[in-house]
Structure 1
Amino acid sequence: MTSIRVRPRFRHQVEGTAKDINTKLVEGFKKHEDEIHMIFLPHYLVVEYNPDLRHYWSPQLQLSLEENEEGVLVRGLYGPHPNVWSIFFYGYASMGVLSTFLCIIGISQAMVQGQYWAFWAMGACLLIATVLYLIAQFGQKIGAEQTFEIHHIYTDIMGHPEPIH
């Protein structure tokens, strides 16, 4: 999991039915109730740390179960709590929308007045987006130990999945 991706993912093909795999996962994660808790639905589980062990950058593991011809495809996604993820998503979206408008203003300025201040402001938006990305990477490194712990619990329950990407 040394990926530079903001939200590492994995896929794991296992034999059985989604109901059996779901039961196996729920029972396996319940053995670690002192550290983690989970939210589970028939084909979806969210595993996260208990509030006393959780910090701002603590990860969640979201597991979805999809039945196919070979058995069940388990898709795992590691990421921060949705509140943290939303802050970064809206930060990136805001910078993208603002940059688009600044580009339109900058092109208009260049055609009419010959002034280019909007292009400089666009550069500031790019700088802010880059800083947001670096902060996200820093946060991912802070939560890496807990991510590895959850991943090891998962592999103890289910075996080793395909490499994370």
Structure 2
Amino acid sequence: MDTNNEIRLRLRFYKDVMISSEVLSQKFAAFAKSAPTNYGIKTRGNHIWLNIKGSQKSYYSPDLHLEFEAKNENETHIRGLFGPDPTLWTLFMFLHFVIAGIFLIFCGIAYSNSVLNQSYTFDLVVLMLMVICWFLLYFIAKQIRNNGNDQMHELENLFAEIVAS
């Protein structure tokens, strides 16, 4: 998967395999019971979560969420979604909401000041700073994703290895 040409931060992939979803779930459950030391595996119905754990885990370590959808008795459609650690994702979402809130508040203040024929230069400066912060958050997230690129490929290889077993 070439991650450098993707604009979206949470990369996705789709795969069809000629194995039933029950057998796939059993393969992942069996692998989880074999106590892998470097990987965390959680299974819940047709959903599987793979992540890095132990000494290799860092703030930029990705998680892989797999969803199995049975196409027929012997074929399964797999949807994979790479994402950041849920704690980091929550922090980024919180920062986005704070920036959006400040942006909306200062839009209202700037409009009020313009209607009242008062200076609204400061309000426009704050609005521009919020736009710059949005772009900054995007580039920081992109850099975090690039840092976790090797681990993302490692999780993808682990997924392929379990499916092939």
Q: Does 2:96 match 1:95?
A: no
TM-aligned CA deviation for residue 45 of structure 1:
0.9
| Residue of 12, 17, 22 corresponding to 2:20 | 17
- 5+ residue gaps, structure 2, are none
Range that drifts further, 66-75 or 48-57: 66-75
TM-aligned CA deviation for residue 28 of structure 1:
4.8
TM-aligned CA deviation for residue 131 of structure 1:
1.1
Percent of matched pairs sharing the same residue: 22
Structure 2: which amino acid aligns with 1:124?
L
| Cα distance in 2 between the residues matched to 1:39 and 1:48 | 9
TM-score, normalized by length of structure 2? 0.86
Q: Does 2:29 match 1:26?
A: yes
Range that drifts further, 116-125 or 12-21: 12-21
Q: Contact 1:91–1:129 (CA<8 Å) still a contact in 2?
A: no
TM-aligned CA deviation for residue 118 of structure 1:
1.4
Q: Which residue of 1 aligns with 2:57?
A: 54
Structure 1: which amino acid aligns with 2:152?
T
Post-superposition CA distance 1:113-132 (Å, at most 9, x none): 23222121111111111111
| Residue of 140, 149, 158 corresponding to 2:145 | 140
| Cα distance in 1 between the residues matched to 2:79 and 2:152 | 16
| Residue of 74, 84, 89 corresponding to 1:80 | 84
Secondary structure in 1 aligned to 2:96? helix
Change in Cα spacing, 1:32 to 1:59, as seen in structure 2 (3 Å) is farther
Secondary structure in 1 aligned to 2:67? strand
Q: Which residue of 1 aligns with 2:135?
A: 130
Q: Which residue of 2 aligns with 1:162?
A: none
Structure 2: which amino acid aligns with 1:10?
F
Aligned-CA RMSD value = 2.0
Structure with greater contact order relative to length (CA < 8 Å, sep ≥ 6): 1
TM-aligned CA deviation for residue 72 of structure 1:
2.0
Q: Contact 1:37–1:48 (CA<8 Å) still a contact in 2?
A: yes
Secondary structure in 1 aligned to 2:42? strand
- 5+ residue gaps, structure 1, are 160-165
Q: Which residue of 2 aligns with 1:65?
A: 68
Q: Which residue of 1 aligns with 2:42?
A: 39
| Cα distance in 2 between the residues matched to 1:45 and 1:135 | 28
| Residue of 95, 99, 105 corresponding to 2:109 | 105
